[in-house]
Amino acid sequence: MQYIILDTETDFDGWRKAARHLVLHHVQPADVTWTVQGGEAELFAPPAPSPILEVNDGTFTVSGKFIELAKAAILHRDPERFAILYRLLFRLKDNHDLIEVATDPDVAQVTAMARAVHRDEHKMHAFVRFREIGREREAHYVAWFEPEHHIVEFAAPFFAKRFADMPWSILTPDLCAHWDGHALSFTPGVGRSEAPSEDRLEETWRRYYASIFNPARLKVKAMQAEMPKKYWRNLPEASIIKPLIEDAERMTGAMIANAATDPHKPQKRPEAPMKRKPAADELETLREEAAHCRACHLYKDATQTVFGEGPKSANIMLVGEQPGDKEDLAGHPFVGPAGQMLDRALEEAGVDRKKVYVTNAVKHFKFVPRGKIRLHQKPNTPEIRACRQWYEREVAAIQPDLIVAMGATAAQSVFGKITPIGKTRGRLIELPEGRKALVTVHPSYLLRLPDPEAKALEYRRFVDDLKIAASLQKKAARAA
Q: SS3 sequence, the chain?
A: CEEEEECCCCCHHHHHHHHHHHHHCCCCHHHEEEEECCCHHHHHCCCCCCCCCCCCCCCCCCCHHHHHHHHHHCCCCCCCHHHHHHHHHHHHCCCHHHHHCCCCHHHHHHHHHHHHHHHHHHHHHHHCCCEEECCHHHCEEEEECCCCCCCHHHHHHHHHHHCCCCCEEEECCCEEEEECCCCEEEEECCCHHHCCCCCCCHHHHHHHHHHHCCHHHCCHHHHHHHCCHHHHHHCCCHHHHHHHHHHHHHHHHHHHHHCCCCCCCCCCCCCCCCCCCCCCCHHHHHHHHHCCCCCCHHHHCCCCCCCCECCCCCCEEEEECCCCHHHHHHCCCCCCHHHHHHHHHHHHHCCCHHHEEEEECCCCCCEEEECCEEEECCCCHHHHHHHHHHHHHHHHHHCCCEEEEECHHHHHHHHCCCCCHHHHECCEEECHHHCEEEEECCHHHHHHCCCHHHHHHHHHHHHHHHHHHHHHHHHHHHHC
Determine phi and psi for 405, rounding to 5 degrees. Answer: -95, 115
Strands 2-6 and 32-36 come out as parallel
pLDDT score of 432 = 80
CB count, 10 Å around CB of 96?
13
Q: Where are the domains of the chain?
A: 2-122, 132-194, 204-242, 279-479
Cα–Cα distance, 196 to 190 (Å, whole number):
13
CA–CA separation, 22 and 15 (whole Å): 10
Tell me, what's the pLDDT at 263? 44
Q: What pLDDT score was predicted for residue 205?
A: 64
Q: Per CATH, is 279-479 categorized as 3.40.50.300?
A: no
pLDDT of residue 232: 62
Given this model, what pLDDT does residue 277 score?
47
Which phi and psi angles does 234 have, rounded to 5°?
Answer: -105, 5
Tens of pLDDT, residue by residue, the chain (480 residues) = 899 999 999 999 999 999 999 999 999 999 999 999 876 555 555 545 555 544 455 678 899 999 999 999 999 999 999 999 999 999 999 999 999 999 999 999 999 999 999 999 988 998 888 888 876 567 888 999 999 999 999 999 999 998 888 899 999 999 999 999 899 999 999 998 888 877 666 666 667 666 666 665 566 666 566 666 676 666 766 666 677 767 766 655 554 555 444 444 444 444 444 444 444 468 888 888 899 899 899 998 999 999 999 999 899 999 999 999 999 999 999 999 999 999 999 999 999 999 999 999 999 999 988 877 888 899 999 999 999 999 999 999 999 999 999 999 999 999 999 999 988 999 999 998 789 999 999 999 999 998 888 899 999 999 999 999 998 878 776 665
